[in-house]
Amino acid sequence: MPELPLPPEDRTLSPYTGYTRAHWEAVADHLLAAALRYATPGHALIDLPGPPSKSGVRSDGLEGFARTFLLAALRTAGARGKDPHGFLDRYTAGLVRGTRTPGHDDCESWPEIGHHGIRGQPMVESASVALALRLTAPWTWDTLAAADQDRVERWLRGALRHTPAPNNWYLFPLTVAGFLQSAGRGDTETGRAVERGLDLLDGWYRGQGWYSDGDGRAFDHYNGWALHLYPLLHAHLAKDRPLLDRLGPRLREFLDGFALLFDANGAPIHHGRSLTYRFAATAAVALGALTGSTPLTPGATRSILSGALRHFLDRGALTEDGILTLGWYGPHAATLQRYSGPGSPYWASKGFLALLLPPEDPMWTATEEPVPAEGPDRVLALPAPGLLVQTTARDGLVRLHNHGSHKFDSREPEQAPGNPLYARLAYSTRTGPTSAANTPDNHIALEARGTRSARIRINPLASGPDWLASWHRPVFPEGGPVLPSARIESLTLARGSLELRVHRTVGVPPGTPVHHTGWAVALPPEAAPDEAGHAGEIRIDGEEVTSRLLGLHGWHRQGVVRAPQGTAYGPWALVPELTGTVGDDRSGTVFAALASLTAEPDPPALTGRVTVEIDGFVLTARWTDGTRTVVHLGEGGPAVTEEPA
């Protein structure tokens, strides 16, 4: 880990992180200086070290340029044009050189923008270029000769004339069009791009501040760093009050729940794709402060922002020469997607959006306050995306139970093993999912012909204040069995640090083995027990967290499974597992377990915290405080009633 040239901590103004605006500016300068060492002679491409993405080296070089240009723009625009390191001069020169002969086979020319899937990645990068130009126009765009402006515009308009991916990509042409309009180059084509993007955005809105990333039910960090960011920032920069009034309340409602997904230690929730963008997860929080569309106080806002930035800087996100790695903390291949190239992590630049707030803004001058996860224990059900948020004040840890988010549209077939970043029952801020090649954590699976089923498309069933339920069709790997009409219904009820997990198999052949796993814990292999005991709970103690799993009904065997490929939190991991068998009644077999993930030192045992009774498809859970929870598992979907002590 490199030693960053940072100012002294200010624990008076920032008692939780020590970071101030000066720290953000210093980190931005360090990231830019490190990346620019890899620029081509004409500054048009930044060829960062690392394996290429599926789009190829030239596209990756444009990605390195565009995403760091956005960082330079936020840094300079936030300083009202002051650029003591001359960053913008290099990017302006690169703009001219890269657009002189697009598509040519030389060391400087940018690739042309094509359709998604056919030279499509440059469309993504065009949005960063356009937004950076819009933020820095007096010091970049306005200094270009007319012929150079024409060439830059011609390249950018490729984003308006080609087909994006059917998701957040439609906001890239919107962003390009917004810049061209701001530069006095708007026309019917730019107007159509903006209108089309906003119309699609409305169609993707599902409520409670959440958008699906295209058709289907893809709910993840793209809500914050794309679906809210681009259109609302466009409205802010254009001073479009009607659009701000339309989109701002959605962001405010989104942040009311999303702000809970940041750990007391600064970590964002580890769920969904493109996690190598890291502290870009805070972009929506900063956007709320910038546009006045936030339920958060200035002090809590800065705690979330600075907490996330510091979290990754303190945990090895940078190489020795100051480059953001492809991974989570350090390099981690399972965190990546095929489109991830060496420049991809620099979408983290969006996390610096708060620099657009002036130094005198309360977000920078107010004393830091605790993040929402450090408040009272919370359980928040978000039925619109199908997510259940669970926080505990004693350790500041956040868990996210997934009963509705998956990365499939209606046209895609369900294929095992599924995406570990979406298919799990639960995610947290201190654990990551095991790889697709290892036993899945937080999973319910059938076993047939020696293979286990996957959870692919997740269908919401029902919800309550502290619980959510869903169902999925168990899908086996290619060559495995197909079980017609088989389904597994799953319910999670959260209370404190406890998770009551109830499953019902429907239409599954009698005698079929069922496996249920809990939270994976990364730890050194020499610290791993060979197996758990045969009575009571399974417990795995890691350096930061303890994972526990207790069978309540339907399980006859328990153990610990090794995950040699590890998680984003360590190269090797263990997973607790329960095993049972489907009964003779094809209308369903009920299974119940109690799970817990905690960072409390020496947490109390799970055994005895709750007891359950099963009467047909009615489960009655009795808690130690005298409360009784009744779960009705029927054809109309689960229903839960609570009876206080």
Q: Where are the beta strands (DSSP E) in 518-627?
A: 521-522, 538-541, 546-553, 555-563, 573-581, 589-598, 610-615, 618-623
C-alpha–C-alpha distance, residues 266 and 287, integer Å = 18
Burial class from Cβ neighbours inside 10 Å (0-12, 13-18, 19+) for residue 632 reads: middle
3-class DSSP assignment, residue 128:
helix
Asked if 79 and 145 touch (Cβ cutoff 8 Å), the reply is no
Q: List strand residue ranges (DSSP E) for 208-331, in order.
A: 210-211
Are 335 and 276 contacting, i.e. CB atoms less than 8 angstroms apart?
yes
3 state SS for 156-217: HHHHHCCCCCCCHHHHHHHHHHHHHHHCCCCCHHHHHHHHHHHHHHHHHEEECCEECCCCCC
Three-class SS state of 541: strand
- For the beta carbon of residue 581, count every other beta carbon within 10 angstroms: 16
* Sequence spans of domains, the chain: 21-374, 378-643
Tally of CA atoms within 13 A in the half-sphere of 429 that contains its CB: 30
CA distance 626 to 331: 48
Q: Which residues contact 52 (CB under 8 A, 6 or more apart)?
A: 60, 341, 342
Query: Residue 608's CB: how many other CB atoms inside 10 A?
Result: 10
Residues in the chain: 645
Q: Which of 486, 425, 487, 490 is nearest to 462 (CA)?
A: 490
- Do 309 and 24 contact (CB within 8 A), yes or no? yes
SS3 489: strand
- Positive or negative, the CA dihedral 623, 624, 627, 628 is positive
Instruction: Please say whether the beta carbons of 397 and 429 come within 8 A.
Output: yes
CA angle (405, 411, 416) in 5-degree steps: 60
Burial-class residue 453 by CB neighbours within 10 Å (0-12, 13-18, 19+).
Answer: buried
d(CA 566, CA 148): 50
For the beta carbon of residue 127, count every other beta carbon within 10 angstroms.
Answer: 25
- Count the neighbouring beta carbons within 10 Å of the beta carbon of residue 634: 13
Which residue's entry shows tokens 């530069």? 183
CA 461: distance to chain centroid? 23
Task: Compute the chain's Rg from CA coordinates.
Answer: 25
Strand-pair partners of 548 = 539, 596
Is residue 152 within 8 A of residue 123, CB to CB? The reply is no
Confirm if 560 and 548 have CB atoms less than 8 A apart: no
Count the neighbouring beta carbons within 10 Å of the beta carbon of residue 245. 11
Distance CA 328, CA 322 (A): 15
Q: Which helix (H) or strand (E) holds 291?
A: helix 283-291
Strand-by-strand arrangement of the 618-623 sheet? 610-615, 618-623, 628-632, 639-643
Tokens representing residue 642 in the block: 């609570």
- Residue 258's identity, in one-letter code, is F
Residue 433 preceded by cis peptide, ω within 30: no
**Which residues of the chain, if any, have pLDDT below 70?**
1-2, 528-535
- Name the token pair of 552: 């309540």
- The tokens describing 3, both together, are 């030693």
Which pLDDT score, from 0 to 100, does residue 431 have?
98
Closest CA to 91 of 112, 76, 106, 107: 76
Question: How are beta strands 397-402 and 426-428 bridged, if at all?
Answer: antiparallel
Classify 562 as helix, strand or coil. Answer: strand
Instruction: At 168, list the tokens.
Output: 């957040």
Biggest distance spanned by C-alpha atoms of the chain:
79
Burial class (CB in 10 A: 0-12, 13-18, 19+), 584: exposed
Closest C-alpha among 301, 280, 287 to residue 350:
280
pLDDT of residue 533: 44
Assign 140 to helix, strand or coil. Answer: coil
* CA pair distance 224, 298, nearest whole angstrom: 18
Query: What pLDDT does 536 receive?
Result: 86
Angstrom distance (rounded) from CA 499 to CA 591:
14
Intra-chain end-to-end CA distance of the chain, in Å = 53
Find out whether 446 and 474 touch, Cβ atoms under 8 Å: yes
Residue 463 forms beta bridges with which residues?
468
Q: Which CATH number fits domain 21-374: 3.40.50.11540, 3.40.50.720, 3.40.50.1980, 1.50.10.20?
A: 1.50.10.20
Nearest by Cα to 579 from 443, 401, 398:
443
* Amino acid at position 321, single letter: D
Q: What is the CATH number assigned to the segment(s) 378-643? A: 2.70.98.70
Question: How do residues 417-457 score in pLDDT, each as one tens digit?
Answer: 989 999 999 999 999 999 999 999 999 999 999 999 999 99
Helix (H, G, I), strand (E, B) or coil at 343: coil
Distance CA 513, CA 551 (A): 15
Long-range residue pairs from 143-149, CB within 8 A, at least 24 positions apart, any chain: 143/92, 144/92, 144/95, 144/96, 148/95, 148/96, 148/99, 149/183
